[in-house]
Amino acid sequence: MQLPSKELFKKYWKEVLIGTLLAGSLGTIFYVGAILVPAIMESLEILPVQLGFLATLLMGLMDSIFVFDSGVLSDVLGRKTMLIISNVLGLVLLYPSFYISN
């Protein structure tokens, strides 16, 4: 019995690790922006609850739109390049949101 996954992790463990970290970090960036930031803003009473819900809704909507556009763009630029660009862009856009205050 052959185990292709055994060969994958044995020969290409570095590529699997890097790909997992890059792709997984995008999910983390999304959930921090969509869930954690509005929740923190609400608990610190910087945002009203309704605005937090609106922010979450808009984050999901924008994600839905950019998933398709980014898929087309990744055909042109390449998957690796798009993963790197989207991670950097996500962090650059998300980081300042922690410093918003009254």
Q: How far apart are the first and last CA of the chain?
A: 63
**Does residue 80 surpass a pLDDT of 80?**
yes
Q: Residue 1's pLDDT is what?
A: 61
Cβ 33 vs Cβ 59: under 8 Å: yes
pLDDT number for residue 101: 55
pLDDT above 80 for 100: no
The pLDDT of residue 76: 94
- Predicted pLDDT at 78: 92
The answer to pTM > 0.75 is no
Kindly state the percentage of the chain with pLDDT values over 70: 96
Are 97 and 33 in contact, with CB atoms under 8 Å apart? yes
